[in-house]
Amino acid sequence: MKTWPVYLLHKTAEILEKVAQKKGAVKTLVYDSKFQNIKQLFALVCETQKYSSVLQEIINSTKLLKETKLRIHLAKVLVYDLLIGHGVKCGGTWKTMMMKHRSRLQAALARIKVKRKVSRNQDLLPSSFQQTRDDVIPRYVRVNTLKTTLEDVIDYLKREGFSYQGTACRLEDLSHLSGKRFLCDLHLQDLLVFSAKTAFHNHFLYKAGHIILQDKASCLPAFLLNPQVGSHVIDACAAPGNKTSHLAAMIKNKGKLFAFDLDAKRLSTMSTLLLRAGVTCHQLANQDFLKVDPQSSEYKEVEYILLDPSCSGSGMVCLRDEVSELQDEGRLQALATFQLRCLNHTLQFPRVQRVVYSTCSIHSQENEEVVSACLQQNPAFRLVHLLPNWPERGHEPFTECLRASTAKTRTHGFFVAMLERRPPQTDEENLLVITTLPSGGEEKQDTHQSGPSDEEQENTETANKQPTNPVSKKKRRNRKKHKKQEF
């Protein structure tokens, strides 16, 4: 059996310690680590974190720290490796040490199972991690159309013994894949879906950049932004780069793609990823997006912006327990303040027409509340109704937005909103008749249009859901219903 390098175990323990000290979210810390195999590190961190309370109980009952002098987070990694993983995969003195205590540790685990009346390790997990068949997230594979086509990838996989089942008709189809059967996703045409246990990290198509391993929810922002071929686009908080490569594919490597990230290490990793994906239209900048000058001539043609800022990461399945224990209102408020600043900044670019705002958070503070505050401060923009048939919507009244979750969409938790610039109104549309209320002395503004069509009349009957500023109660006007757009 292949052993894990000692450095991987050290790095996993280091990240777990930083998470416990609230020094950052798991995803950010993992990518900042510059570890060679990011996905391997992320998996080990998440799995150890999931079983954290069980591992703590085993370590306490066996007095392992006292006898080995190990630090708690390294002890958790090693005990997970021994009891719940695939045996002792580390080598050297650590393997010798853990084998010496194996019988006692196994007995402690067995006692916990008896006490809780369960037989499987996964049944020891907190309820937030308990998964039914419908809760398992499939393996999503995005076809990189910069290097290949959907048809060619399907043909290649069929020659390798995979069984293509066509395009999914409903979400439930994604939960019943097994073995080498796979489907095309029902919402995103360049996305293939496999059973959760299908591995591609060592596959030729992955190493050659022909496919990108990316959760379906993470594919939504670029897909919904849908920039035109040859346009100028900004990816505001770009690392690790999967969304950037998706944007490049959308514009077919034509036009310009400006990608910003404040972290030089993450940007370096991203550069390697983009090179493998065949992206050539990008311009990377190790720069704080908030310090980018929207009025610079360099960005005068930018019409599309994707903003996926730092967030709590509470939608990531492996972080559910961590988020519930470690995040407080203060930290969420700080994140929301930063996210609102970023979203407001995107709307300052003079020619921007569409902005997609997304997070991998389940918290309203980082999602609907940020969008609400932004719309109040930027009346020239409105929400676009996204994917009308999507099964999970934003919280009322922001149902134009999308939410995603394991149970309802078979993805990680996610939130997506799209803001677009309102079209300029004609003088006739802006004709205002000011009337004085008989008792309150307030003024009301009504918009009158000459000869409205049936469609226009229907649109004006529905009030705009954009929040209004309490300060402006004295003067109101009816606004058009948010434009609905299907993709």
pLDDT digits (tens, 9 = 90+) for 120-169: 888 887 665 555 444 678 999 999 999 999 999 999 999 999 999 999 99
Please state, in angstroms and rounded to a whole number, the distance separating the CA atoms of residues 200 and 157.
11
pLDDT of 361 above 60: yes
**Before 397, cis peptide (omega within 30)?**
yes
User: Which of the four CATH numbers 3.20.20.140, 3.20.20.70, 3.30.70.1170, 2.60.40.420 does domain 139-213 have?
Assistant: 3.30.70.1170
Provide the CB-side half-sphere exposure for 321 (13 A, CA). Answer: 19
Q: Is pLDDT at 447 greater than 60 in this prediction?
A: no
Where along the chain do its domains lie? 6-125, 139-213, 217-424
- pLDDT, mean of residues 326-339: 81
Residue 183: pLDDT over 60: yes
Say if residue 330 is exposed, middle or buried (CB neighbours under 10 Å; 0-12, 13-18, 19+).
Answer: exposed
Q: Is 239 annotated as a binding residue?
A: yes
Residue 389 phi, psi (nearest 5): -95, 5
CATH number 3.30.43.10 given to 217-424: no
pLDDT tens for residues 209-243? Answer: 999 999 999 999 999 999 999 999 999 999 889 99
Structure tokens at 154: 């399907």
Specify the pLDDT at position 59.
Answer: 93
Q: Please indicate if the annotation marks 241 as binding a ligand.
A: yes
User: Which of 392, 389, 427, 302 is CA-nearest to residue 352?
Assistant: 302
**pLDDT per residue as tens digits for the range 55-105:** 999 999 999 998 888 899 999 989 998 888 765 555 567 778 888 888 999
Whether 453 has a pLDDT exceeding 50, the answer reads no
Per-residue pLDDT at 37 = 78
Contacts of 372 (CB under 8 A, 6+ apart): 398, 467
Q: Output the CA torsion 167→171→172→175 (10° steps).
A: 80
The three-class DSSP label of residue 424 is coil
- Evaluate if residue 445 carries a pLDDT over 50: no
Q: Is 430 annotated as a binding residue?
A: no
- State yes or no: pLDDT of 391 exceeds 70: yes
| Ligand-binding site membership of 184 (annotated) | no
Active site residue: 184, 360, 374, 401, which one? 360
For tokens 């600043």, what's the residue? 341
Is 242 annotated in a binding site? The answer is yes
311 is catalytic: no
367 is in an annotated binding site: no
Please check if 261 is assigned to a binding site: yes
